[in-house]
Amino acid sequence: MPSIGDTRRLDPHEVKESLQHAHPNVLRAVTYLMTGNPELLVMRTIEVERRGGAFIEQTLSESDAQRVRELAFELLTSPDLDQRPESAMALDFDQDRIRDAVGFLLGTRPREAEFRLAIRELGLEEACGVSTRARWSTDVDPSGWRVLVVGAGFSGIGMAVRLQELGIPYLVVDKQPRIGGTWERNQFPEARVDTTSYVYQFSFVEKYPWKEHYASQEEVRQYLEYVASSYGVTPHIRLETELVEGRFNAETSMWELVLRDKTGAEWKETANFVVSGSGLFSTPKIPAFPGLEEFEGPIVHSAQWDPGFDPTGKRVAIAGNGSTGVQILPWLANKADHVTVFQRTPQWISPLEKYKEKVSEQIQWLHDNVPFYWKWSCFNARLIRGSLGDAQEYDRAWQAAGGLVSRRNDGLRENLKAYIATKLADHPDLREACTPDYAPLARRLVVDNGWYDAIVKPNVTLIPRGVAALGRNSVIAADGTAYECDALVLATGFEVEKYTLPAKYYGPDGRTLEDVWAKDGPRAYAGVEVPGFPNFFIMYGPNGQPRGGSYVAALELWIDFAAGLIVQTIESGHRRCEVTVEAFDKYNALMDIEMERLIWEGEAPKDRNYYVNSFGRQNVNMPWRLHDYAQILWKSEDTHVFA
Ligand code: NAP
């Protein structure tokens, strides 16, 4: 990958051609950053709806876009083009200019919290004289300390990279045979991300040459292997090894750990800190259908995919039409003799621009050659994704005037209905059966991977009911009707509520996390820590998922938060760090209040929404926008005790 700072002239033809493919508003921001040209400041952004109104994107009129391309062309082909690395150039920018450029992408002047997160993600903290990264402030030797990281997915690898940088010894364990976490676990056909690859990536791995805008499962898995090996983490990973239990010893302030390898052999180790990155989507949920044992054909869960499973010539049933089931069905319908789709609840399913599209040479060229373009276009993609969060809030005035949720959410519902009507124009019965009666975004919006086209195929039958039981060679629907089949595919999701599974953790008083969470399900301070469990951090913990779905951006915040507390413990000469009960209670009380403004608990059927736990409480998403959440993490003085 060429890096900015290569002293070379750009070919004007290539520049002109590539700029046609640039996002006009991102190009405007980076050109303004480098030139401060006031002409760019006065252009007006135009708000456009994407994905039926789920996302909002700020762009420019065609005439402004053309002018931006001209100015960018002049800059990039100028003999005076700054050839220094971006990091050096950035130190010359003044804060007001950065603030204005961030405002271009937001469509409005950033609030302080938005600006603070923006400069972190854009790598401009140093230029603004701040730092939110975990780092040493004294000259201590951490070599006698040890961290156990559970899981070699995004969370575990990301945490390991930071520990490696800080020089803190660590071991990563993962029960699977390869690095990848959920991307190793979920090898079902057609699995791929539904968040653009440019958001679903670490910010510190610059200009990774993604092949597709929405990477396939294997591409993401290989990316994680690449990160682990290029940051020196791979030798510290022990695969096919699981943490069975951890007990915190109050005398020694150490976690006493029991580990197990694939042969079943167990042994003991100790660590000062444990970071659980065991993942939300790792333990398959297999409904306890009566007759499960009697069913004679293969039963394949999406997260335990059997690569040898061949549906050719078979009558196959599939349960589940969430993100996973919708990805699998078109493949199944192409191969199987007949497919019976058991749809217990219709989902909101919509197409996604650039899904399955390759990244063009021109886009790659822009990333590699236009200073700051990669960072700002990734940030822009994160903002667009995050704009979904606004449509998850109730607008009480809108409701009082007869609306259902809010202008945005109701508009999205109408657009999604129109999409269903178009796809199923010749199938009024299916149209009715497939149209949800709850608000979109109360559950995960599912990407249409050709699902509607598949259900109208002659070899596919949609049964608008759930699976109640299995016979020897049949699936019995909720109304008692038996449907003959030779194989069953379960796309029935994950044991989301069981954070930290399969390991069991015991605090110094002998209580487990499950004991603490018995009242109304898992809770944590900022989704990361639980009082009574010192030196313990959860990545992607309770209510940790950002509303717009930019999990990796949140993960990088958790990593710095946890690593910062580890550093603080070591530097302060203590051995034990723990969040206070007061901080935990205050955070959770605030969270419960915030939750009332949001649609998850009230809109979709509670027992059919993995966001909502068995106590009826939304337990997956955070109620705050990511920038507001980041402020909570960064202002966490007086929230911890060190001993
Ligand atoms: P899910 O969203 O929890 O969906 C589970 C599905 O199983 C639902 O359709 C559910 O029906 C159905 N089901 C459960 N019991 C059933 C029964 N007895 N009969 C019939 N249907 C039954 O799980 P998922 O689809 O695996 O997705 C989970 C999450 O993983 C996603 O939301 C996403 O965050 C992630 N994921 C992401 C991607 C991606 O990035 N592209 C792909 C796959 C998964 P009800 O609706 O009635 O409950």
8 A C-beta contact, residue 307 and residue 187 = yes
pLDDT of 16 over the 80 cut? yes
How confident is the model over 502-525, as a mean pLDDT?
95
Nearest CA to ligand 1 atom 26: 493
Nearest CA to ligand 1 atom 40: 193
Please state the atom number of ligand 1 nearest to the C-alpha of residue 325. 25
Nearest CA to ligand 1 atom 2: 322
Nearest CA to ligand 1 atom 27: 323
Nearest CA to ligand 1 atom 37: 323
Long-range contacts for 64-69 (Cβ within 8 Å, ≥24 apart)?
64/24, 64/28, 65/24, 67/39, 67/43, 68/24, 68/27, 68/28, 68/31, 68/40, 68/43, 69/19, 69/20, 69/22, 69/24, 69/27
User: What pLDDT, on a 0 to 100 scale, did the predictor assign at position 548?
Assistant: 79
Please state the atom number of ligand 1 nearest to the C-alpha of residue 342. 20
Encode 261-284: b = buried (16+ Cβ within 10 Å), e = exposed. eeeeeeeebebbbbbbbbbbbbbb
CA of 180 to the centre of ligand 1 (A): 20
In the predicted model, what is the mean pLDDT of the chain? 96
pLDDT band for position 497 (50/70/90)? confident
Please state the atom number of ligand 1 nearest to the C-alpha of residue 326. 25
Q: How many CB atoms lie within 10 A of CB 37?
A: 14
CA of 614 to the centre of ligand 1 (A): 16
Please state the atom number of ligand 1 nearest to the C-alpha of residue 446. 32
How confident is the model over 26-36, as a mean pLDDT?
97
Gap between the Cα atoms of 412 and 50, Å rounded: 10
User: What pLDDT, on a 0 to 100 scale, did the predictor assign at position 547?
Assistant: 86
User: What pLDDT, on a 0 to 100 scale, did the predictor assign at position 129?
Assistant: 95
Least confident range from 1-15, 161-175, 268-282: namely 1-15
Nearest CA to ligand 1 atom 46: 345
pLDDT of 364 over the 80 cut? yes
CA of 517 to the centre of ligand 1 (A): 24
CA of 11 to the centre of ligand 1 (A): 49
Q: DSSP assignment, residue 360?
A: P
- Return the SS3 of 393: strand
CA of 78 to the centre of ligand 1 (A): 53
CA of 371 to the centre of ligand 1 (A): 41
8 A C-beta contact, residue 97 and residue 33 = yes
Name the token pair of 219: 């591409």
User: What pLDDT, on a 0 to 100 scale, did the predictor assign at position 607?
Assistant: 85
Please state the atom number of ligand 1 nearest to the C-alpha of residue 443. 32
Gap between the Cα atoms of 56 and 182, Å rounded: 29
- Return the SS3 of 95: helix
Nearest CA to ligand 1 atom 28: 493
pTM: 0.96
User: What pLDDT, on a 0 to 100 scale, did the predictor assign at position 4?
Assistant: 45
The letter for the amino acid at 463 is I
> What are φ and ψ of residue 259, in 5° steps?
-115, 155
Q: DSSP assignment, residue 208?
A: -
Nearest CA to ligand 1 atom 12: 320
Q: DSSP assignment, residue 526?
A: T
Encode pLDDT of 433-448 as tens digits. 999 999 999 999 999 9
Best of 301, 444, 490 to mutate for ligand 1, by most ligand atoms within 8 A of CB?
444
8 A C-beta contact, residue 172 and residue 180 = no
**Who has greater pLDDT, 608 or 2?**
608
Maximum distance among all Cα pairs of the chain, rounded to whole angstroms: 76
CA of 395 to the centre of ligand 1 (A): 28
Q: pLDDT above 70 covers what percent of the chain?
A: 99
Encode pLDDT of 94-133 as tens digits. 999 999 999 999 999 999 999 999 999 999 999 999 999 9
User: What pLDDT, on a 0 to 100 scale, did the predictor assign at position 8?
Assistant: 60
How confident is the model over 419-424, as a mean pLDDT?
98
- Return the SS3 of 440: coil
CA of 320 to the centre of ligand 1 (A): 6
pLDDT of 5 over the 50 cut? no
User: What pLDDT, on a 0 to 100 scale, did the predictor assign at position 608?
Assistant: 87
Pocket of ligand 1 (CB under 6 A): 192-194, 281, 287, 319-325, 327, 342, 344-345, 444, 466-467, 491-493, 608, 610
Nearest CA to ligand 1 atom 33: 323
Encode pLDDT of 144-201 as tens digits. 999 999 999 999 999 999 999 999 999 999 999 999 999 999 999 999 999 999 999 9
Name the token pair of 561: 């938060």
User: What pLDDT, on a 0 to 100 scale, did the predictor assign at position 636?
Assistant: 77
Query: What are the Cα distances from residue 437, in Å, to 246, 388, 442, 479, 633?
Result: 45, 20, 11, 20, 37
The letter for the amino acid at 75 is L
CA of 302 to the centre of ligand 1 (A): 10
Best of 214, 286, 323, 345 to mutate for ligand 1, by most ligand atoms within 8 A of CB?
323
CA of 477 to the centre of ligand 1 (A): 18
Count CA atoms closer than 13 A to 557's CA, side-chain side. 28
Nearest CA to ligand 1 atom 10: 320
Nearest CA to ligand 1 atom 15: 492
Encode pLDDT of 579-599 as tens digits. 999 999 999 999 999 999 999
Gap between the Cα atoms of 164 and 422, Å rounded: 52
Please state the atom number of ligand 1 nearest to the C-alpha of residue 281. 30
pLDDT of 499 over the 90 cut? no
CA of 318 to the centre of ligand 1 (A): 12
Please state the atom number of ligand 1 nearest to the C-alpha of residue 493. 23
CA of 26 to the centre of ligand 1 (A): 35
pLDDT of 3 over the 80 cut? no
pLDDT band for position 467 (50/70/90)? very high
CA of 620 to the centre of ligand 1 (A): 14
Best of 282, 324, 342, 388 to mutate for ligand 1, by most ligand atoms within 8 A of CB?
324
Encode pLDDT of 309-325 as tens digits. 999 999 999 999 999 99
User: What pLDDT, on a 0 to 100 scale, did the predictor assign at position 501?
Assistant: 80
